[in-house]
Copies of this chain bind each other. A is one copy, B any other.
Amino acid sequence: MVTKPAKAAPDTARRSERSRRAIYDAALALVGEVGYPRTTIEGIAARAGVGKQTIYRWWGSKADVLLEAFLDLAAAPAAEPYAIPDTGDLAADIKGVLRATVDQMTDPRFDAPARALAAEGVVDAEAGRRFTAALMEPNIQLYVDRLRAAQEAGQVRAGIDPRIALEFFISPLAQRWLQHTGPISYEYTDTLVDYALYGLAPR
């Protein structure tokens, strides 16, 4: 009688973990295929092969499921380089993390669901703020921290506001991705870093 729950617990945990993963996969696939407005808890449950009560037990809304599914995707080993190193060479460190962002943007597993969420955020300000807070702010903070360290090391001018300066690294790439304003490549993001650090005007 004592061993039974002890044995059942790992089984339950394993089953839960399998369901959770199936739900994440279903949610990301579905939103990428039919868009955010037409993605439903019922649709995610059917595709994941679970009852919709299983989803409602763990999450309050489809936005909650999608946000967690995305955070899980971003925490996968392939996304590890997102932490910004501090080797002392600011240009090289930022170029490295931007190249990893380019890889992510050109990865179809990420691209379709990320576009579906981004599009919803464009037209629904509340959803947009929520997605940005959960999915982008932690990365933005990494740039702020790295730029502040560079400022302390005398590699960035003292008067520069890191929260604005970081946008030179992330915003042009984001706009090319969101609005199809130009091609995305390592060469492009490397150039952004050089232009941002040394400016456009002659020295």
A contacts, CB < 8 Å to B: 35, 37, 115-116, 118-123, 125, 128-129, 131-132, 136, 140, 147, 154-157, 160-161, 163-165, 167-168, 170-172, 174-176, 178-182, 188, 191-192, 195-203
Contact = CB atoms under 8 A, between A and B. Distances in A.
B121 A155 contact: no
Contact of A201 (B119, B120, B157, B161): B157
Nearest to A128: B180
B198 A201 contact: yes
A122 B176 CA distance: 10
A84 to B, nearest CB: 15
Given A174-B179, A178-B178, A201 B168 contact: no
B178 A170 contact: no
A195 B115 contact: no
A172 B170 CA distance: 8
Contacts of A154: 202
Number of copies: 2
Contact of A180 (B125, B157, B161, B174): B125
Q: Which of A132, A140, A181 has the most CB of B within 10 A?
A: A181
Given A164-B195, A197-B199, A200-B160, A140 B181 contact: yes
Q: Which of A35, A197, A200 has the most CB of B within 10 A?
A: A200
Nearest to A162: B200
B132 A123 contact: no
B132 A181 contact: yes
A38 to B, nearest CB: 9
Contact of A170 (B128, B132, B165, B175): B175
Contacts of A136: 179, 181
B128 A123 contact: no
Given A167-B172, A171-B175, A121 B198 contact: no
B180 A164 contact: no
Nearest to A179: B132
